Structure 1
C-alpha cells in the first residue's frame, strides 16, 4: 500500500498571464495528482504580488497556494513538471507538517526579535543610570 501525505504547494506564476487563467493553468499540472488517486483540497490564488527580489527579470509574480493529498511520487512529479514550464517562475512543495513547522519557527523567531527589541531600551536606561552613578 502506498502512503499518502498532505502537501502544500506554493507557486509563483509569470505576471504577464491573465489572473483569471491561473486556476486553469494550475489544473493542467494538478491532473498529475488526481490521475494518481490523490485529491486537491484547496487552490488559493493570492494574485499579483511584488517579489522580494527579481526573478527572470521580473519584479512581480502571481502567487498561488495549493493544498493537496497524494503519494510522494506524484508530488515529486508535479514539482518536476512545474519546474519545466516557463510560465512558472518559482515552485516549492512542502509536506503539510513541514509547512506548519516552518510557520511556527518563523513566529517564534519574530517573538524573540520583538522581545529583544523591547528589552533594548531597558538595557540602555540601566547603562545610562550606571554611567551617571560613576
Structure 2
C-alpha cells in the first residue's frame, strides 16, 4: 500500500447531488481492497488557469489516500470515462 494525493476537478454545471455522487463513487474505488481515505478536502468552485472543455471554472476536490496501485489504475480509468470530471492528477507521496 502506498500513500497518494489525488486532485480532480468536477464540471461547474453539475448539480450538488450529482457532484456528491461522483465524489463518493471515486472514493469507493480507492477504499476497496483495504484501502483507506485519509482525508477529503473540497476546495469548492474556483477559476481554472485556462479553459478546459470550454469551462473557465471547476469544483476542486483533493483526496489523500492509502491504497494499492491497482485501485489507482481503476480510479484513473473511471475518472477518464466519467463526463463530470474535467481533469485529475495523482501524486504518490
Partner of 2:49 in structure 1? 52
1:94 aligns with 2:64: no
Aligned pair in 2 of structure 1 residues 21, 43: CA closer, same or farther (>3 Å)?
farther
Residues 50, 60 of structure 1: 8 Å contact kept? yes
State the Cα distance separating 1:23 from its structure 2 match.
3.8
Residues 19, 62 of structure 1: 8 Å contact kept? no
Partner of 1:118 in structure 2? none
Which entry has the higher C-alpha Rg, 1 or 2?
Answer: 1
| SS of residue paired to 2:50 | strand
State the Cα distance separating 1:50 from its structure 2 match.
0.6
CA distance in structure 2 between the partners assigned to 1:78 and 1:51 by the alignment: 22
State the Cα distance separating 1:81 from its structure 2 match.
0.7
CA distance in structure 2 between the partners assigned to 1:14 and 1:24 by the alignment: 13
CA distance in structure 1 between the partners assigned to 2:23 and 2:77 by the alignment: 14
Partner of 2:59 in structure 1? 62
Count of residue pairs the alignment pairs up = 93
Q: Where does structure 1 lack aligned partners over 5 or more consecutive residues?
A: 97-134
Relative contact order higher in (CA < 8 Å, ≥ 6 apart): 2
Partner of 1:115 in structure 2? none
The superposition leaves residues 75-99 of structure 1 with CA deviations (integer Å, 9 ceiling, x where unpaired) of 1111111111010000011112xxx
CA-based RMSD of the aligned residues comes to 1.4
Higher helix share: 1
State the Cα distance separating 1:73 from its structure 2 match.
1.1
CA distance in structure 1 between the partners assigned to 2:65 and 2:29 by the alignment: 11
Q: Which aligned segments of 4 or more residues in structure 1 are displaced greater than 2 angstroms?
A: 18-24
| SS of residue paired to 1:22 | helix
The TM-score with structure 1 as length reference comes to 0.65
The TM-score with structure 2 as length reference comes to 0.91
